[in-house]
DNA sequence: ATGGTTGCTTAGCAA
């Protein structure tokens, strides 16, 4: 089973690119972040035409997540089922065939110490609590998304600078680490020791041609699935060409036979 | 990295 994740930075702007990528890569499931559209305006038909059922959780202008699945979807949850305020349409989960798949768009945090920074750290803790409520680490669960945190220095082009920023601050890394202590494994690191393998490059810094990036998009597999992960990759090619997202898709494959 | 762009909505915000 091939599961992918891609922050598309507007599904309406990226629709054709995503269609082409689905046709080329043929994942069983694609988790999407930053769809930036209400559910009524989500372009579902072109994805259905390719055999993917969209599970959507969106809002106007900002955020928005989706799961496109060609495996049968038998159960869906939107947002956190806890008592706190939602803080944007940033989480959707679906049982896709034998696997529970989460598409997560973790708050960026804006500035260290800001109100949004607190929301980000809290959000990662709420995600762990949600996993605790619904799953055991031995279950088949995949948590995909734009985590807005790079796990390690080798995932960051300038760690000394970025450790002062929201995407690589020690507190954000700790919050991500605590999430993973539920029993989640970074599938990319099961198959690569590479330094400088990034998934996001800032439009503003013209970062892509200089490879000034960070690896903040992850496919996390539960302990129950990690041993069955046969491959993982970042599709840097999909960041090239006209009108790309600022993120590349990330993928992992699992042998569920 | 420190200026650079992009998308949504329509001047300003978010990333």
- For A12-47, how does the pLDDT look when each residue is reduced to its tens digit (9 = 90+)? 999 999 999 999 999 999 999 999 999 999 999 999
- When pLDDT is averaged across residues A232-244 and rounded to a whole number, the result is 97
Number of structural domains in chain A: 1
Q: Which of A28, A52, A102, A105 is catalytic?
A: A105
CB-based contact A58:A72 (threshold 8 Å): no
Q: Rounded CA gap, A88 and A68, in Å?
A: 20
CATH number of domain containing A176 = 3.60.10.10
- When pLDDT is averaged across residues A76-102 and rounded to a whole number, the result is 96
What value does the mean pLDDT of chain A take? 97
With cut-offs at 50, 70 and 90, classify the pLDDT of residue A86: confident
CB-based contact A2:A25 (threshold 8 Å): yes
A15 touches strand B (CB under 7 A): no
Q: Rounded CA gap, A170 and A133, in Å?
A: 27
Predicted pLDDT at A24: 98
> For strand B, which nucleotides have at least one atom less than 7 Å from a protein CB?
1-9, 14-15
- When pLDDT is averaged across residues A168-197 and rounded to a whole number, the result is 98
Predicted pLDDT at A206: 85
Predicted pLDDT at A227: 98
Straight-line distance from CA A248 to C1' B4, in Å? 21
A107 touches strand B (CB under 7 A): yes
Task: Assess whether pLDDT exceeds 90 at residue A166.
Answer: yes
Range of the structural domain that residue A214 is part of? 2-254
List the structure tokens of A188: 């990319």
With cut-offs at 50, 70 and 90, classify the pLDDT of residue A87: confident
List the structure tokens of A172: 């954000």
Predicted pLDDT at A8: 98
List the structure tokens of A23: 């046709």
Predicted pLDDT at A205: 87
Predicted pLDDT at A199: 98
Answer yes or no: A82 catalytic.
no
Straight-line distance from CA A13 to C1' B13, in Å? 19
Q: Rounded CA gap, A223 and A139, in Å?
A: 8
Task: Assess whether pLDDT exceeds 90 at residue A69.
Answer: yes
Predicted pLDDT at A82: 92
Answer yes or no: A105 catalytic.
yes
Phi then psi for A250, rounded to 5 degrees? -120, 150
- The model carries a pTM of 0.98
With cut-offs at 50, 70 and 90, classify the pLDDT of residue A235: very high
Phi then psi for A56, rounded to 5 degrees? -120, 150
């Amino acid at each position: 089973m091939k599961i992918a994740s891609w922050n598309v930075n507007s599904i309406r702007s990226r629709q054709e690119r995503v269609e082409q990528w689905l046709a080329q890569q043929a994942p069983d499931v694609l988790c999407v972040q930053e769809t930036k559209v209400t559910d009524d305006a989500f372009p579902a038909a072109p994805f259905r035409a390719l055999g993917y059922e969209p599970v959507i959780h969106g809002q106007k202008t900002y955020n928005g997540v989706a799961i496109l699945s060609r495996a049968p979807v038998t159960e869906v949850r939107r947002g956190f089922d806890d008592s706190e305020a939602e803080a944007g349409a940033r989480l959707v989960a679906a049982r896709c065939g034998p696997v529970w798949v989460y598409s997560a768009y973790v708050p960026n945090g804006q500035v260290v110490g800001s109100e949004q920074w607190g929301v980000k750290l809290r959000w990662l803790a709420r995600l762990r609590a949600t996993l605790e409520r619904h799953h055991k680490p031995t279950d088949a669960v995949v948590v995909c998304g734009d985590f807005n945190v790079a796990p390690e220095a080798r995932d960051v082009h300038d760690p000394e600078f970025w450790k002062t920023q929201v995407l690589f601050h020690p507190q954000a890394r700790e919050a991500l680490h605590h999430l993973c202590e539920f029993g989640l494994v970074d599938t990319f690191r099961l198959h690569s020791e590479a330094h400088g393998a990034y998934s996001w490059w800032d439009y503003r810094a013209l970062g892509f041609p200089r490879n000034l990036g960070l690896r903040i998009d992850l496919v996390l597999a539960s302990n129950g699935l990690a041993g069955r992960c046969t491959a993982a990759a970042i599709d840097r090619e999909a960041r090239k060409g006209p009108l790309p997202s600022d993120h590349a898709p990330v993928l992992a494959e699992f042998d569920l036979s």
